[in-house]
A = this chain, B = another copy of it.
Amino acid sequence: MPRSLVIAAAQLGPVQRAHTREQVVQRMLVLLRDAAAMGAELVVFPELCLTTFFPRWLIEDEAELDAYYETRMPGPATQALFDEAKRLGVGLHLGYAELQHEGDRKRRFNAAMLVERDGRVASIYRKVHLPGHAEPEPWRRFQHLEKRYFEPGPGFTAVRAFGGVVGVAICNDRRWSETYRVLGLQGVELVLIGYNTPVHNPPAPEHDRLGDFHNHLVMQAGAYQNGTWVVGVAKAGVEEGCEMIGGSCIIAPTGEVVALCSTRDDELAVARCDLDLCNSYKRSVFDFAKHRQPHAYGLIVSRTGAIPPEQDRGSKS
């Protein structure tokens, strides 16, 4: 049985504060139909795609904050998107802010839902690596309060979907090699990653010129080192005065970018992805069972931060 799948990375241009979910869903429907017309069987939308990237502001009014979250998915504004995808027989990935009510307690996650071609929910992933900060830092031109507005998810779980093994990660997760490896150890063949990445990094502005390079570098390495397809999808462009990178792309298990967006607006990058290409890597250079050496990896789970060697340890091997 052939396991090739046409996938569309559905990049979104900016979503301003005044834009409603209904307006965004109209744009997503245009991309969805365009993608379906190009044969896409899975359309991948970015992280937090239904609203503007609200962690850039300190929002102290709880009702105002809550309004950025979804309490169910699909909800009133997104039902049309789910219905149309099912009608077209196209799978769907989209990122959103999730608000769970547990008794009196509110739990907030940066989440992404993966929906099969028949409308069945294949997985809900909750972002593990939350960048930025929890307390407002007034010196920044924009805040990045993900650590304030979300709690970290439990982990990375690959599922069987689309005829293969599929994993999801979100934005900052893609910079950590552990993300791909934990999925790789579950045999992942396709990793879907939405992101909102400002060009300007206030604590390290010297990185700004390298945003596109770093974005591709980490996803290409993750793809190659685990023998998996990776689809990275941006919400891009200038949102409320904050410029975000684009570069949405589809990366083969070779590590090569095989489809790429070249604007910072609504745009598709489409490729036919043969999931069996993964085997070329998983069964040779990255045959984990044959070549990995977990006895040497202990620090990865036993230590969170870096601890340099003692001064006197350099004296002998």
Contacts and interface: CB of A to CB of B under 8 A. Distances in A.
Contacts of A293: 128-129, 152
Contacts of A128: 293, 296
Contact of A301 (B165, B282, B297): B297
Instruction: Classify chain A: how many residues form its interface, as a range.
Output: 35 or more
A61 B10 CA distance: 61
A227 to B, nearest CB: 9
Interface in A278-298: 280-298
Contacts of A217: 217, 220-221, 224, 255
Interface in A93-120: 113, 120
A72 interface: no
Interface of A: 113, 120-125, 128-131, 152-161, 165, 172, 175-178, 180-182, 184-187, 201, 203-204, 206-207, 210, 213-214, 217-218, 220-221, 224-225, 254-256, 280-311, 313-317
B220 A224 contact: no
Contacts of A152: 293, 295-296
Contact of A221 (B154, B218, B315): B218
A312 to B, nearest CB: 8
Contacts of A298: 182, 301
Given A157-B309, A224-B217, A293-B129, A207 B284 contact: yes
Contacts of A255: 210, 213-214, 217
A121 B314 CA distance: 9
A181 to B, nearest CB: 6
A256 to B, nearest CB: 8
A317 B178 contact: no
